[in-house]
Amino acid sequence: MFNALIVEKDDEGVTSAGVQQIDESRLPDGDVTVAVEYSTVNYKDGLCLGKGGGLVRNYPHVPGIDFAGTVESSDDPRYAPGDKVVLTGWRVGEAHWGGYAQKARVKADWLVPLPNGLDTRQAMAVGTAGFTAMLSVMALQDHGIKDGPVLVTGAAGGVGSVATAILANLGYEVAAVTGRPETSDYLKDLGANQIVAREELNETTKRPLEAETWGGCVDAVGGAMLARVLGQMKYGASVAAVGLAGGAGLPATVVPFLLRGVNLLGIDSVMQPYENRLRAWSQIATNLPMEKLESMIRPAVLSDLPALGREILSGQIKGRIVVDVNN
Ligand code: NDP
């Protein structure tokens, strides 16, 4: 028997979440059984824990879109008992039972061996949000980051915090956009050189182009802010579009693409091929200072999750929540 946070749906379609003791025979099919050590709370988890079950595709369900732990048994030659592994994506925690449990059974293809230099807790302090931040920085570098500050929107959140720390550590000047002025010191400690107030970029303008300001951008917010940022990018610069914390619409014009050659790069962490995941995790272990990662962590346990799901949807979480599933 082991502990799991189970989401159930009643006959009226109302969902509820609670910690239960369940038997291993209830785990879904898969090649590898993992003794989970840590998971996290991402925006998608907030949706799955919330009213109506969000992205959950089957009930009862164990949410948790990422986890890190130790292989307990494996039918796949790539993994042996005792191996440390990390998982993000592949609709785990949505269509397949996820990381909010002391055990998980998944396809071997979805796993990545933990890179040297990261333990399971650190891997989940990074989690899906930080992994996506790394993919974003890699995409910007592949397209060339121009002179000038790199903008990070939603900077005090999970993606934004890790992106800020990685970019600063790589030597880029970072401008961090936040709607919470009280997080300024935290963002400066992560390496931000400049704090930009959210309101400055949320104001709409009729001008499709403004002064060329940003050499690149990791955007976790979308909506009106992304539209405004596109018109402020330097010639040929790129925006890695990650999220929609500020809205799914995009009230933009094509002018920044036509007259400034701006690149809008969509970042999807879910279906990344194995080689890309391996490369990103190895870059994280190399380029993310662990003392900065520590400053982002808020610890939690399984029974905290329903409340934390509501909190992340309200945009109030600072940094990364690390869930110790064994406490
Ligand atoms: P968080 O909730 O941790 O961070 C989001 C941040 O956005 C908040 O902390 C806040 O930052 C800012 N924000 C929130 N609401 C608004 C608003 N209405 N207008 C402007 N800014 C706002 O979430 P994550 O960092 O984990 O994820 C961010 C986004 O990225 C989400 O939409 C998520 O679904 C998406 N995502 C996408 C992935 C992919 O594969 N493409 C993977 C992971 C996440 P501040 O207070 O500093 O302003």
Going from the Cα of 267 to the center of ligand 1, the distance in angstroms, rounded, reads: 14
User: Across residues 72-93, what is the average pLDDT?
Assistant: 98
| d(C-alpha 272, C-alpha 276), whole Å | 6
Residue 96 is predicted with a pLDDT of: 98
CA distances to 48, 163, 273, 309 from 43, in Å:
9, 16, 22, 8
For a ligand 1 pocket test, name from 92, 134, 242 the mutation site with the most ligand atoms within 8 angstroms of its C-beta.
242
Residue 203 is predicted with a pLDDT of: 84
The H-or-E segment that residue 36 falls in is strand 32-40
Structure tokens at 157: 């959140």
Residue 159 is predicted with a pLDDT of: 97
Residue 51 is predicted with a pLDDT of: 84
User: Across residues 174-184, what is the average pLDDT?
Assistant: 98
| d(C-alpha 129, C-alpha 85), whole Å | 17
User: Do the strands 238-241 and 216-219 form a parallel or antiparallel pair, or are they unpaired?
Assistant: parallel
Residue ID of nearest Cα to ligand 1 atom 18: 246
Q: What is the pLDDT of residues 244-272, one digit of tens each?
A: 999 999 999 999 999 999 999 999 999 99
Distance, CA of 290 to chain centre:
17
Using pLDDT thresholds of 50, 70 and 90, give the confidence band for residue 13: confident
Please state the atom number of ligand 1 nearest to the C-alpha of residue 245: 32
User: Across residues 76-92, what is the average pLDDT?
Assistant: 98
Global pTM reads 0.97
User: Do the strands 32-40 and 84-88 form a parallel or antiparallel pair, or are they unpaired?
Assistant: unpaired
Going from the Cα of 123 to the center of ligand 1, the distance in angstroms, rounded, reads: 19
Going from the Cα of 71 to the center of ligand 1, the distance in angstroms, rounded, reads: 31
| d(C-alpha 131, C-alpha 139), whole Å | 12
Going from the Cα of 48 to the center of ligand 1, the distance in angstroms, rounded, reads: 16
Q: What is the pLDDT of residues 181-214, one digit of tens each?
A: 999 999 999 999 999 999 999 988 889 999 999 9
Residue 85 · residue 68 · CB < 8 Å = yes
Residue 197 is predicted with a pLDDT of: 98
Residue ID of nearest Cα to ligand 1 atom 16: 246
Please state the atom number of ligand 1 nearest to the C-alpha of residue 316: 9
Express as a percent the part of the chain with pLDDT over 70.
100
Residue 77 burial (CB count, 10 A): 8
Structure tokens at 47: 């949706």
CA distances to 106, 122, 156, 171 from 195, in Å:
41, 26, 11, 17
Task: Residue count of the chain, please give it.
Answer: 327
Residue 17 is predicted with a pLDDT of: 93
- 265 sits in the region (left: phi over 0; alpha: psi -120 to 50; else beta) called beta
User: Across residues 4-18, what is the average pLDDT?
Assistant: 93
**Residues with a CB atom less than 6 Å from ligand 1:** 42-44, 128-129, 132, 154-160, 178-180, 183, 198, 220-221, 225, 242-246, 267-270, 312, 315, 317
52 pLDDT exceeds 90? Answer: no
Residue ID of nearest Cα to ligand 1 atom 17: 246
Residue ID of nearest Cα to ligand 1 atom 26: 158
Residue 149 · residue 194 · CB < 8 Å = yes
108 pLDDT exceeds 90? Answer: yes
User: Do the strands 216-219 and 150-152 form a parallel or antiparallel pair, or are they unpaired?
Assistant: parallel
Residue 178 is predicted with a pLDDT of: 98
